[in-house]
Amino acid sequence: MRRSPLATLLLAALVLPACLPRATTARPPPAPSLTTVADALFASVESEGTLASVFMVDAATGAPLYARHEHVRLLPASTMKVVSTSAALAAFGADYRFRTPVRLEGTQLGSLFLGDLVVEASGDPSLGSWRFPETAVACEQLAEAFHSRGIRQWLGAVRVLNADEGPYGLFGPGWAWDDAAYAYSAAPTPFVFRENVVDLSLERPEGHDCKSQPWRPLVVRYSPAFDAPPPVVYLEPNAQRAGVGCVRERGSGRIRCVWRSTAEQCPRKATMRVAIDEPQSLFTSCMEEALAVRGIWRVATAPRTASVPSATTSEPLLEFVSPSLAELVKVTNKESLNLYAERLGLRFTRERTGTESYPALRDAMTQELTRRGISSRLLRAADGSGLSRYNVATARGLVGVIYTSLKEPYAAALLESLPIAGVDGTLANIAASNGAKGLIRAKTGTLSGQKAFVGIAERPNDPEHPRVVFALMLGNIDEQPALTANQVFEHFAEAMVSLPLR
């Protein structure tokens, strides 16, 4: 019979007592408990040089139930999203929606509009996103608003207000420079469109493969198309692994990619999602395409018959409205979306300090955590997503965020946003085959050599402590450990939901 992973771990925890000389009257081995199993598990992990920091409390009372190195400071990675999303929920409530006003400034002469389309950036991370039915059709809504006014020609420009990133630029402090080209590191600009990413496709010309020369010209496309310099693509044959890797040039912002092929793999096409730093251009291109579908065209010059008046007017055209904050928080945490977490953190910062910047975010988050009784020695935020290597957290601090959130009106919205073990989000494939499936909701976090989990666990067989809040942080993980970080979590998760505490 095949033993379950937890059964094997229990056997290891009990092997020492079993090997001792038996007394005349043999005593049965002690029943396994969460404490004995967890201690054996984490001792094994630490014997390889990994540092395990763990804390668990009763969800109703906050009474500590298990602790191991709970004051040690490590990188929280994406568990930092629990901090930024709970802070935004605390400030605005689950029903809050971003509102992005759009107006026309100019004059309409029959079917011709002379003037500018003006958008007031609101920081809405979902504007134009494909994730929600109401945001995916933003350009079509705009075209319909033009059409309903009888506009068939337009001479003017798109202007986005409040889009200045300030003196600190587009990226958070402590972000890795070689992440900048990738979609997960899209800049959290005050004006966001289509999550500030596009699809980049590369295709070898017909009749050319990795062994034939020359390889160029490659077919390189952005989708959706927009006005931006094409990426610089280098071809590298005989690489150890096939694939595409990109970086963003300093200064120019242009993307440079290396398309690698091996002797065995020579793909004719490759596609990846890359970040852009000009969302206004992407928005303009999307809008023009939608206008053209409705028979509305931007023109370079006004018809000779049109007399341009000296006075202009400013009239509302429409207002883009985001999904509720509860829905935004849900995709942020379940899918671990860095851009959404940054925008929510910066919007919270503006609400509390009157400005958007990362120094202000640090101060605003410190004040919020202090309000909850969590000191900066336990948790210190440098950004909203966890990409920053300047974030510092302890298992005790992360547990404090979840525990205090359970006392707030938005508690249900935050819990609904957490991935469910074996069911969805970043926990969909974790603990799917053991007793923890469906009983744990937790945010995960991953950086090189680091892994963290924070959330709640249901204990259906424990009437005294039916629900617990926990955090597990692993640091300095070896490249080839005996147990992967996810396997460590799976063992601990099964013990949390099924074993007595002691």
User: Taking the complete model, does pTM exceed 0.85, yes or no?
Assistant: yes
Helices (H) and strands (E) in the chain, counts: 12, 19
Compute the distance between CA of residue 502 and CA of residue 34 in angstroms, rounded to an integer: 6
pLDDT at 19: 46
pLDDT at 40: 96
pLDDT at 89: 98
For residue 25, name the pLDDT band (cuts at 50, 70, 90).
low
pLDDT tens across 134-183, in order? 999 999 999 999 999 999 999 999 999 988 877 666 688 999 988 989 99
**Across 166-175, 283-292, 402-411, least confident range:** 166-175
More reliable by pLDDT, 228 or 147: 147
**7 pLDDT above the threshold of 60:** no
pLDDT tens across 448-464, in order? 999 999 999 999 999 99
**250 pLDDT above the threshold of 80:** no
Query: What is the phi/psi pair of residue 185, to 5°?
Result: -115, 25
More reliable by pLDDT, 440 or 299: 440
Average pLDDT of span 56-68: 97
**Which stretches of 319-394 are DSSP H helices?**
325-335, 338-353, 358-371
Compute the distance between CA of residue 211 and CA of residue 456 in angstroms, rounded to an integer: 54
Beta sheet of 269-275, edge-to-edge order: 219-223, 197-203, 269-275
CB contact set of 181 (below 8 Å; sequence gap of 6+): 246, 247, 248, 255, 257, 274, 275
Residues for the chain: how many in total?
502
**26 pLDDT above the threshold of 80:** no
* 8 Å CB contact between 486 and 110: no
Average pLDDT of span 366-383: 97
257, amino acid identity: C
Which helix (H) or strand (E) element contains residue 121? Answer: none
Locate 419 and state its tokens: 């991935």
Percent of the chain with pLDDT over 70: 91
Average pLDDT of span 44-73: 96
Average pLDDT of span 368-378: 97
* 8 Å CB contact between 275 and 281: no
pLDDT at 248: 86
Compute the distance between CA of residue 118 and CA of residue 105 in angstroms, rounded to an integer: 7
Residues in a beta bridge with 474: 52, 451
Helix 279-293 to helix 138-148 angle (10° resolution) is 50
pLDDT at 215: 58
Most confident range, picked from 248-252, 334-338, 435-439: 334-338
pLDDT at 80: 98
Residue entry with tokens 């074996």 = 422
For the CA atoms of 154, 156, 162, 166, the dihedral, rounded to the nearest 10 degrees, stands at 140
Instruction: Please choose, from the candidates 414, 368, 364, 445, the residue with its C-alpha nearest in 3D space to the C-alpha of residue 184.
Output: 445
Locate 286 and state its tokens: 């999307």
Q: What is the mean pLDDT of the chain?
A: 90
**55 pLDDT above the threshold of 70:** yes
Average pLDDT of span 180-200: 94
**276 pLDDT above the threshold of 80:** yes
pLDDT tens across 99-133, in order? 999 999 999 999 999 999 999 999 999 999 999 99
**15 pLDDT above the threshold of 60:** no
Compute the distance between CA of residue 162 and CA of residue 122 in angstroms, rounded to an integer: 8
Which helix (H) or strand (E) element contains residue 58? Answer: strand 51-58
Instruction: Please choose, from the candidates 202, 199, 234, the residue with its C-alpha nearest in 3D space to the C-alpha of residue 218.
Output: 202
**379 pLDDT above the threshold of 70:** yes
CB contact set of 27 (below 8 Å; sequence gap of 6+): none
For residue 208, name the pLDDT band (cuts at 50, 70, 90).
confident
